[in-house]
Structure 1
Amino acid sequence: MRYGLGGRPARWMHRRALPAGLTFTLLVTAAACRPDLTPPGAPTSWPTSSARHWQWQWQLDGVLDPDVEADVFVLDPVGTTAAQTAELRSRDRRLVCQVHIGSVRPTDPDASRYPARVRGATIARSGRVWLDVRRWDVLRPVLADRFRLCRGKGFGAVVFADADGYDHRSGFALEFDDQLTFNRRVATLARSLGLSPGLLGDLAQVAALAPDFDFAVNEECVRLGRCDKLLPFVDAGKPVFHVEYTGDTTDFCVTSVGYGFASIRKNRTLDAWRLPCPSP
């Protein structure tokens, strides 16, 4: 599954500035920053001492490259095999499955489980269809099975995509509080099935939702000038996995690592290529 989020540039950005002339150096080895692997059947833990030191990979397209030097892999649970996750786990990688909780693609294996009454407008850029997140009775069993698929393949965490239908022309009269209630319900559901929940995008609700989630994934907050919105995660010692699709790492890493994010440069297709920012 491919995924991308747009955002509206903020009029200002609070920046935690790094000292002038800072040069990045690795103060700790990757092995020193990587805690013990979480055993199968338990949700992934995110020690606060490691929050600023994770290296991560986000791959949803192309042949999976298990040799990427990253501690955390965000992957498609349908396209990724149990053999692939087993290989990554044998290398002490932490695995996050990406699940679209607020939309469905017509070609998804479980698309037929979403009746017409909960399907709304089509997202032009992806062909996905927004869902009526007020219908928890309909969406819950489908999402539970998606999470069980993740758990069964060896993932210990899940990140929620399209968790902001209220902020788009979804085809439903969704309110801010409708989305908050739904996102919290899904986080609780994920935990009940042995998965650590993470939030992708939905910056306008981060301040309210940060206590309910263990980590965040963000796209292009430096380019859009919205990185300050993610500080509730950082202040709580929770990791923020951040990606930019344009710009030079020598420029945006100063900002993102200064905020305390784990940052990389990626192609928008989210193939195997990545260019990481050094650890702080």
Structure 2
Amino acid sequence: MKQLLVIFCSVLSFGCNSDDDNSQSNHSSAQGGLDPNVAPITAGSWYRPEVSVTWQWQLEGSLNTSYPVTLYDVDLFDTATTTIKSLQGSGKKVVCYFSAGSFEDFRDDKDLFIPSDLGNTLDGWEDERWLDIRSANVHDIMKKRLDVAKQKGCDGVEPDNMDGYTNKSGFTLTAQDQLAYNRFIANEAHKRNLAVGLKNDLDQVTELVEYFDFAVNEQCFEYNECDTLLPFINQGKPVLTAEYLDKYVSNASERAAICQESRNKQFSTLILPLDLDDSFRFSCL
């Protein structure tokens, strides 16, 4: 029947589309104008952290700036420019966190989003909803957030929730949609001379490692997923990991074991509270 339809349309000069044509057209528009095959921007003078870099990650509470580390990962919206400058004045680099894949109803720019941008609530985070990463409006908002990072003087950015396609987002996101979006975010960061880290999205590490300067991961040791991140180490790019299990906090031998494994992989691993406040901190370096 499909072949007959094609012949019929051809003979009568009807502008018929086959199912395959429709599928391709829909997929093209679904990517929101982003090219999943765009080349990485690799030439520039932005900060490139080294493998086994020491770091601190705090997104909640009054920021403790006293840790003797090379890199601080802090909230883009909640961290004052003066604090960023002060950290840099003490010889530290500053990476600024923001969510690139979710809507947070407490952010200053929340009113820029439109209803069609917003999907399902994130599991465990009732004040966040997945974003339609194919939306041109979402792309514009993320460019503005990167502009804020540049204006505040951040050395780099950590865009979170970069794996919506593997979650129940409320949208029919594909792996190609995610690749297109993640590569877009990385290149836009580099256009602003900002370092950029890949957050989670383990299934696409090999396709994205060329685009990002480092990786940030949660719980890869807990879920036995850390080897997936080794392409970053192999390219001389650090892997910053955080673990939250109580046994790593309360059991010194468990902590020593995970830290030894982390050092063997040349990872930069922290044992932190899930809320990422400053209530405790253990570093494997």
| TM-score, normalising length: structure 1 | 0.80
**1:277 is aligned with what amino acid?**
C
Q: Deviations over 1:249-269 (max 9, x none)?
A: 202111111111011111111
Distance in 1 (alpha carbons) for counterparts of 2:129 and 2:46: 29
Partner of 1:274: 281
Judged with a 3 Å threshold, the aligned counterparts in structure 2 of structure 1 residues 150 and 177 are, in CA distance, closer, same or farther, namely: same
The reply on whether 1:215 has 2:210 as its aligned counterpart is no
Distance in 1 (alpha carbons) for counterparts of 2:222 and 2:116: 37
Distance in 2 (alpha carbons) for counterparts of 1:183 and 1:191: 12
Distance in 1 (alpha carbons) for counterparts of 2:179 and 2:263: 29
Distance in 2 (alpha carbons) for counterparts of 1:84 and 1:262: 24
The reply on whether 1:195 has 2:202 as its aligned counterpart is no
Distance in 1 (alpha carbons) for counterparts of 2:225 and 2:260: 15
Q: Deviations over 1:197-235 (max 9, x none)?
A: 111111111111111100001111111100011011011
- Dislocated runs of 4+, deviation >4 Å: none
Partner of 1:6: none
Q: How far is the alpha carbon of 1:42 from its aligned partner? A: 5.7
Distance in 2 (alpha carbons) for counterparts of 1:210 and 1:131: 23
Q: Which runs of 5+ in 1 are unaligned?
A: 1-40
Contact in 1 for aligned 2:77/2:107 (Cα 8 Å): no
Contact in 2 for aligned 1:74/1:96 (Cα 8 Å): yes
Say which structure, 1 or 2, has more relative contact order (CA 8 Å, 6+ apart).
Answer: 1
Show the 5 A alignment for 1:116-155: 116-126=115-125, 127-135=127-135, 137-155=136-154
**1:133 is aligned with what amino acid?**
I
Contact in 2 for aligned 1:42/1:156 (Cα 8 Å): no
Give the structure with the larger helix fraction: 2
Distance in 1 (alpha carbons) for counterparts of 2:153 and 2:45: 10
Contact in 2 for aligned 1:56/1:262 (Cα 8 Å): yes
Distance in 1 (alpha carbons) for counterparts of 2:102 and 2:257: 34
Contact in 1 for aligned 2:162/2:178 (Cα 8 Å): yes
Distance in 2 (alpha carbons) for counterparts of 1:207 and 1:259: 17
Partner of 1:262: 268
Partner of 1:4: none
Partner of 1:15: none
Q: Which runs of 5+ in 2 are unaligned?
A: 1-43, 249-253
The reply on whether 1:102 has 2:101 as its aligned counterpart is yes
The reply on whether 1:252 has 2:255 as its aligned counterpart is no
**2:145 is aligned with what amino acid?**
R
Partner of 1:45: 48
Q: How far is the alpha carbon of 1:124 from its aligned partner? A: 3.3
Partner of 1:14: none
Task: Name the stretch that deviates more: 248-257 or 60-69.
Answer: 248-257
The reply on whether 1:92 has 2:98 as its aligned counterpart is no
Q: Deviations over 1:182-202 (max 9, x none)?
A: 100111111112211111111
**1:250 is aligned with what amino acid?**
A
Contact in 1 for aligned 2:163/2:201 (Cα 8 Å): yes
Larger radius of gyration: 2
Identity over aligned residues, as a percent? 32
Contact in 1 for aligned 2:133/2:139 (Cα 8 Å): no
| TM-score, normalising length: structure 2 | 0.79
